[in-house]
Amino acid sequence: MKIPFTKMHGLGNDFVIIESDADSVSINKKLIKKICSRNYGVGCDQLLLINSYSKEEVDLTIFNNDGSEVGACGNGVRCVASMIMEKNNVNQIYVKTITDKLKCWKNGNLISVNMGKPRFKWNQIPLSKNINPNKLMIDGYKIHCVSFGNPHGVIFFNNKSEFENVNIRAIGPKLEKNIIFKEGANIEFATILDDGKIKMRVWERDVGITLACGSGACATLVLASVNNLSPRKNSIYLDGGVLDINWNNDDHVIMTGEIEKVFEGHFNG
């Protein structure tokens, strides 16, 4: 079975996009892991399955590269929105996932998505017990938590030197799987730069280190603002590039950045 796909990325956060009706594609966990493998398949952070689309809306399922389904992926949503907007020659579209219906639009080569409102309650993140999500201590790290359809824990370092010396590969997986996170968590490591901008790296739940994470950038900006470290609008510098995040007065968070189509192909499933 040859499965047609499109490879895209947002700031190096890369995706394999498949339309479910293409040649009657049947997606399962084993096939997802194979396609996502950088050694045996196409290679990507997430696989994005377009179930259906029209000029107004895309129905999307998001899988991590271990085959698990997740509710949010800001950069992936922006890539799919760009692809379908181009197909339909429109400048705006909604992308529906298992947790949200997100409005997306384009302005030149920039794609924006309204990520909705952050969720701060312990059972919305979700945490395994009722504690203050903004005052969580794990293994000596103060972690600030929020959900954007997926759980995030953000650690702010005092300066760039501390930030650059943290061993994300050692710390990330331990924090991600800590018992306090009922469904695991994406862990963001951040610091405020001298010019007030934010530098961030991420350990993504069930994926590992990635070059960018859109929902993680939104979580970092919101929690930096909550803790008086940043204004409600700022630029987040990630390993793969820059995302502009704006936490509007209506509490909706807008994420804007570039995306790129890499290539199209067929995978022998």
> Which pLDDT tens digit goes with each residue over 214-268?
999 999 999 999 999 999 999 999 999 999 999 999 999 999 999 999 999 999 8
Closest CA to 222 of 124, 145, 107: 145
φ/ψ (deg, to 5) at 95:
-115, 120
Q: Which residues pair with 184 in a beta bridge?
A: 182
Positions annotated as catalytic residues are 73, 213
> Which pLDDT tens digit goes with each residue over 37-50?
999 999 999 999 99
Torsion angle (degrees, nearest 10) of CA 194, 196, 197, 199: 50
- Secondary structure class of 250 (helix, strand, coil): coil
194 and 262 together in one domain: no
Alpha carbon 262 to its chain centroid, in Å, reads 19
246 and 262 together in one domain: no
Q: What is the pLDDT of residue 25?
A: 67
Long-range contacts of 136-142 (CB under 8 A, 24+ apart): 136/180, 138/175, 138/178, 138/180, 139/171, 139/174, 139/175, 141/171, 141/175
Kindly state whether residue 31 falls inside one of the protein's structural domains: yes
Q: Which residues of the chain have pLDDT under 50?
A: none
Distance (Å, whole) CA 267 – CA 264: 10
Residue whose structure tokens are 């924090």: 175
Residue 159 is part of which domain span?
Answer: 136-251
CATH number of the domain enclosing 244: 3.10.310.10
102 and 30 together in one domain: yes
pTM of the model: 0.92
Distances in Å between the alpha carbon of 20 and those of 75, 155, 228, 262?
20, 38, 44, 20
97 and 170 together in one domain: no
Kindly state whether residue 243 falls inside one of the protein's structural domains: yes
